[in-house]
A and B are shown apart, each in its own frame.
Chain A
C-alpha cells in the first residue's frame, strides 16, 4: 500500500461515445421554459410517465411548501398520491422521486448540495428515503424543477435527458451502453456535455447491472471532478432505489444545467448566507485536523475509534473489535486516499470528505486489469464489507467496494448480508453444496466479489444473496437448514432492511435509534451511542425518549432542505462545551443557529428552533402513517433482532463475561455466581427485551403516538397533517 498512485491515470471509456450515441433512438421530445429558482424554489416539478412516454409539469403549491417543505417531504407527498396500499415496489405505479430541497444549490455553506430519493423499497415494502451527494438535484433545480417524479415502466432501456440550457427534455432508447456506473456515468457525462467546459454542468444518475437481480440495488449520482478529469459517484444507497430504477428500465437520468454561480437560488438575503458560510468553512479550516480529519480521511477516520469503544462490527456483529483492525484503519486510508485534490461532492464544501482511492487495478470480473478510482471506502464500507466479514485486507476491500458501486449494490446491506451468510457458514447452516461451491469462511474477499459477479450475471447463490437478509432467513428456514430462532436472532435486519455498521448491544438508545427509524435501521436518523453508552448522559427511559424525539427530527430536517448532515457535528466550534455544558452540546447549538440563518437567508421565511423541528415532525409523522397505510407502521415492526440487543451465542457472552456478569449483579440484581452461561444468557435476554419494550413505550409517548406506535389524531391535528385520507388510515388504530 506504499506505492504512489497517479490520480490522473485511469482506464477511460469515453472513446466509445460516438458509437453508443449512434445507437440511440429519440422516443419523445418536450420543450420547456428553463428557469432559475426564486428564494430556493422553482415552484414547479417535472412528472414523467414511462408507460406513455409523456412529460408534464406540475405546480408546487403553497400548501406543499408549508406542510412538506421540500426534499424528502416532497418525495413522500408525491408518493402518497401516486400509489395505493396494495402497490408493490415493482408495480408501474411505484415512483422514484428526486428532490433537492430549497437550500440545496448555494455553494457558501458546507454540504448544501444534496438530493433526496424516495420510492417504495423492494427490501421493506414501505417508503425509503436516501440523502445523496453529487450534482443531480441542484442542477435539476437550476433547470427549473423542485422535484422529478417518474412513474411507469419503459419498454426498452431508456435515458431521460433534461437539458436546461436548450430547454428540452428528451426520452431516448439507449440499447448499447452498460449500466455499470463507473462506465455509464463517464459515457453519459461526455455524451451530453456540450464541450469540455460543460462537463461540470452535467450529472448522471445510474444503477449497475446487478441491481437488476438484487433487491439491494443503489443509485449512483455523479459529479465531474475537474482536477482528476474523472466522473465521481455518490450513492443513494439504502433500500433498493437502484432496483426500482432498473425495473423501470431506466439506464440513466442525465441533467445538464447552467454554469454554476454563487447565487442561482436567488437567495432572499445573500449576505446572511455568506456570513454563516464563512463561519462554518473557517471552523473546518481551523479545527478539522485536530477533530475528525474529514478532509484527509473522510468518515474512515472512525474505524479505530469504533474498535476502541467495542463498537466496530466484527463477524456479523458478534464482537466490537479485532486485533487486525489496524490493517484497515484510518492510517491506511490516509496514505491510500489521494490527498492532492479537494474531494467535495458539492461546490464550496470545505469539509471535502468524499475521498477517493485512485489507481486501483481491478483483480476480477469484467473489468479485470482496468485502473479505476474507488469512491471511498467510507466508514460504513470498512465496517460492513471488511471487519463485519472478518476481512482485514485493504486491497480486497477496495475491490468489493468498487464492484458494489459500479454494479449498483448498497454496500451497507451487502456487508451485513455477507456477514450473516458467513456466520451461517461457520455454524453449518450453509455449506459448499448449498452455496454452489462458494467458500464463505470469514475474511474471504474473493468470495464476496464472486457473489457480486453472480448477481451481475444473474446466476448462482449470489442472486439469492442480493435479495438480503430477510429473504435469506425465510429461504434457510423453509429449507430446514438451521434452528429458525437462531437464524432470526443473528439476521441483522429490521423491517427488511439491513442494520448499518455500529454495534448497538450496549446502547439501548441506539437499539431504539435503529429499530424505530421510519425507513428501517439506518444511522442517519439517530446516532446516540456516545451520549448513551459512553457519556451516560441519558440514563432514564424518559431521557432516552427525549433524545429519540429530538435527534431523528433534527436529522430529518437535512433531508427536507437538501443538506448534508456531516458539517453539523463532524466539526464543532471549539467553545461548544464551554457555552453548552451537558447534553445540550450534542445539538451543537451554534450550528443550529447557522442553519436557521441559512434557511431564512435562502427562502426569506422566518424560522426558529421550534419551527425547525415542526417542519420535520410533520413529514416524520406523515411517513409513519404512510408505513401504516402500507400495512406496517405499528409496534410489531419496530422490534430488533436479538443480536442487536444482546449476546446470542455462548462465545459472545463469554468474550465479555465480566461486563455481562457485572450487569446482572449491579443492574438486574441477580448474583451470577454458580449460574451456567446459558442461564445467564437467558436472564440477560429477559432483562434486555423488557427494557427495550419499556423504551419503546416511552418513545411512543414522547412522540405523541399510541402504545402501538400510531400517531394520535391530536398529534396529526397539532402538526396540521390531519388530512381526511391521513385520518382515515389512523382512525382504526386509535386504541
Chain B
C-alpha cells in the first residue's frame, strides 16, 4: 500500500510515478511529485518506480482563481 497525499493507494509491482498520476487522474500540468520527501524530476515520471509503502506527495500548484 502507498500513501498518496495522505490517502491510501493500492501498490502494484513496478508502479511508476506516471502510473500513480494516471490512477489518481492527476492531469494538472503544474505539479511537483515527492517520493519519501525527495523531489522527483519531471523528466523521470515515466521511469521512476515507487517502492511499496512509499509516502508520495503530488503537490498541485495553485493557478487560475
B51-65 interface (Cβ within 8 A of A): 57-65
A534 at interface (Cβ–Cβ under 8 A)? yes
B37 contact set on A, CB distance < 8 A: 581
Q: Which residues on B sit within 8 Å (CB–CB) of A531?
A: 60, 62
A585–B64 CB distance below 8 A: no
What are the residues of chain B within 8 A of A528 when measuring CB–CB? 62
- Inter-chain contact A572/B30, CB cutoff 8 Å: yes
**A585 near B30 (CB under 8 angstroms)?**
no
Interface residues of B in 18-38 (CB under 8 A from A): 25-30, 32, 34, 37
A437 part of interface (Cβ distance < 8 Å): no
Known contacts: A290-B29, A308-B27, A581-B39. The answer to whether A586 contacts B6 by CB under 8 A is no
Q: B28 contacts which chain A residues (CB < 8 A)?
A: 305, 308-309, 530
Interface contact B34-A581, CB-CB below 8 Å = yes
Residues of B contacting A302 in the complex (Cβ-Cβ under 8 angstroms): 63-64
Q: Is the CB of B57 within 8 A of A535?
A: yes
Q: Which residue of A lies closest to B64 (CB)?
A: A302
B64 contact from A308, A526, A527, A535, Cβ within 8 A: A527
Known contacts: A535-B5, A535-B57, A539-B6. The answer to whether A527 contacts B29 by CB under 8 A is: no
In the complex, A471→B54 CA distance in Å?
53
Closest to A293 in B: B29
Q: How far is the CB of B12 from chain A (nearest CB, A)?
A: 21
Which residue of the partner chain, among A527, A539, A577, contacts B59 with CB atoms under 8 Å? Answer: A577
Q: Bound complex: CA of A221 vs CA of B2, how far in Å? A: 51
Partner among A290, A309, A524, A585 whose Cβ is within 8 Å of the Cβ of B65: A524
Q: Report Cα–Cα, A523/B7, bound state, in Å.
A: 27
Please name all residues of chain A whose beta carbon is closer than 8 Å to the beta carbon of B32 when the two chains form the complex.
Answer: 576-577, 585
Which partner residue on chain B sits nearest A526 by CB separation? B65
The reply to whether A569 and B27 form a contact with Cβ atoms under 8 Å apart is no
Q: Is the CB of B63 within 8 A of A585?
A: no
Whether the pair A569, B62 counts as a contact (CB closer than 8 A) is yes
CB atoms of A586 and B62 under 8 A apart: yes
Known: A290-B29, A292-B30, A585-B32. A572 touches B61 (CB 8 A): yes
> What is the CB-to-nearest-CB distance from A111 to chain B, in angstroms, rounded to a whole number?
14
Chain B residues positioned under 8 Å from A577 (CB to CB): 32, 39, 59, 61
Question: Chain A: which residue is nearest B41 at the CB level?
Answer: A578
Which residue, of A290, A291, A581, has the highest number of chain B Cβ atoms within 10 A? A581
**In the docked arrangement, what's the CA distance between A550 and B64, Å?**
17
- Quote the shortest CB–CB distance from A707 to chain B (angstroms): 28
Cβ of A501 to closest chain B Cβ, rounded Å: 10
**How far does the alpha carbon of A530 sit from the alpha carbon of B26 in the complex, in Å?**
11
| Residue from B26, B37, B60 having most chain A Cβ neighbours under 10 A | B60
Query: With A305-B28, A581-B34 as given contacts, are A530 and B60 in contact (CB-CB < 8 Å)?
Result: yes
**Complex: A292 Cα to B63 Cα, angstroms:** 8
Contact A530 B62 (CB under 8 A): yes
Q: Evaluate contact between B5 and A534: CB separation under 8 angstroms.
A: yes
| Inter-chain contact B58/A535, CB cutoff 8 Å | yes
Which of B25, B61, B64 is A379 in contact with, Cβ under 8 Å?
B64
Which B residues are CB-close (under 8 A) to A581? 34, 37, 39
Check A523–B27 contact: CB distance below 8 A. Answer: no
Main secondary structure of the interface of B (DSSP, over half): loop
Whether A570 is near chain B, meaning CB under 8 Å from some CB there, is yes
Per-residue B-contact encoding for A297-312, CB less than 8 Å = 1, 0 else:
0010010110011000
Using Cβ atoms and an 8 Å threshold, which residues of chain B touch A536?
Answer: 5-7
Q: Does A442 contact B (CB under 8 A)?
A: no
Smallest CB gap from A510: residue in B? B65
Q: Given contacts A539-B6, A578-B39, are A585 and B61 in contact (CB under 8 A)?
A: yes
Q: Evaluate contact between B5 and A305: CB separation under 8 angstroms.
A: no
Q: Which residue of B34, B60, B63 contacts A570 across the interface (Cβ within 8 Å)? A: B63
For residue A502, CB closer than 8 A to chain B, the reply is: yes
* Set of chain B residues within 8 Å of A331, measured between Cβ atoms: none
**Is the beta-carbon distance between B6 and A305 smaller than 8 angstroms?**
no
CB distance from A350 to the nearest CB of B (A): 16
Q: Mark A235-256, 1 if CB is under 8 A from B, else 0.
A: 0000000000000000000000
What is the CA–CA distance of A727 and B37 in the complex, to the nearest angstrom? 49
The interface residues of chain A lying within 8 Å CB-to-CB of B26 are 534
Interface centre among B7, B25, B58, B63 (most CB of A within 10 A): B63
A537 at the A/B interface (Cβ < 8 Å)?
Answer: yes
Q: A115 to nearest B CB, angstroms?
A: 21
User: A residues 495-550 with Cβ under 8 Å of B?
Assistant: 502, 523-524, 526-531, 534-537, 539
**Per a CB cutoff under 8 Å, which of B29, B39, B59, B61 touches A569?**
B61
Q: Give A250 to B60 CA distance when docked, in angstroms.
A: 45
Give Cα A539–Cα B7 distance, bound, in whole angstroms: 12
Contact residues in B for A535 (Cβ distance below 8 Å): 5, 57-60
Known contacts: A527-B64, A569-B63, A586-B61. The answer to whether A292 contacts B5 by CB under 8 A is: no
Cα distance, A523 to B65, chains bound together (Å): 6
- The answer on a CB contact under 8 Å between A527 and B30 is no
Known: A308-B25, A535-B57, A536-B7. A502 touches B65 (CB 8 A): yes
Tell me, rounded to whole Å, the shortest Cβ–Cβ distance linking B42 to chain A: 9
| Interface flags, B1-18, vs A, CB<8A=1, else 0 | 000011100000000000
Chain A residue with Cβ nearest B63: A570
Minimal Cβ-Cβ distance residue in B for A539: B6
In the assembled complex, which residues on chain B have CB atoms less than 8 Å from the CB atom of A529? 65
Q: Which residues of B contact A304 (CB under 8 A)?
A: 27
Docked Cα-Cα span, A569 to B65, in Å, equals 10
Q: A524-B65, A530-B28, A569-B61 are in contact. List 8 more A-B contacts (CB 8 A).
A: A291-B29, A291-B30, A530-B62, A535-B57, A535-B58, A577-B59, A578-B39, A586-B62
Cross-chain pairs A/B with CB under 8 angstroms, 17 sampled: A291-B30, A291-B63, A292-B63, A299-B64, A305-B64, A527-B62, A528-B62, A530-B61, A531-B60, A534-B26, A535-B58, A536-B6, A539-B6, A569-B61, A576-B32, A577-B61, A581-B34
Which 4 A-B residue pairings sit nearest by Cβ, starting from the closest? A527-B65, A577-B32, A530-B60, A536-B5
